[in-house]
Amino acid sequence: MQRFTSGSEFEGRIGYSRSVLCDGWVFVSGTTGYDYATMTLPEGIEAQCRQALANLETALKFAGSNMAHVVRVTYMLPDRGNFPACWPLLRAAWGDAAPAATMIECGLMEPQMRIEIEATARAL
């Protein structure tokens, strides 16, 4: 088993890995729209979704996978009414490799967070 970090301060403070590679599977923790280089969170659902997808893609790459190998994804939003604004970004991110998916309306760690994305993928 291999564990990977993004460098986010949350991982050390809370005690989790961004992604874990185990038996040919990659498990990516819930990933928000934070820019981990600056630890800033953009405003708005679309900007946060775009950054969360970029963070997810980076986590997959570190663990030896990519977006085309994602088989399951969970979207968590505090306001399900914001989800349709993400659809064009999600379609573009997944292309023809659309994974099985679930959207859950729930509270997130910080009130300014608009989306969190968790994924499971096969390693390359």
Burial of 56 (0-12, 13-18, 19+ CB in 10 A): buried
pLDDT digit string, tens, across residues 52-79: 999 999 999 999 999 999 999 999 999 9
Amino acid at 56: L
Sequence length of the chain is 124
When pLDDT is cut at 50, 70 and 90, the band that residue 124 belongs to is confident
Walk me through the domains of the chain, giving residue ranges and CATH numbers.
2-122 (3.30.1330.40)
pLDDT digit string, tens, across residues 4-39: 887 777 877 888 888 999 999 999 999 999 998 888
Phi, psi of 42 (to 5 degrees): -65, 160
Pair 117, 56: CB distance under 8 Å:
yes
The model's pTM = 0.94
pLDDT digit string, tens, across residues 109-120: 999 999 999 999
Neighbours of 102 (CB within 10 A): 10
Residues contacting residue 78 through CB under 8 Å, at least 6 positions apart: 105, 106, 107, 108, 111, 113, 114
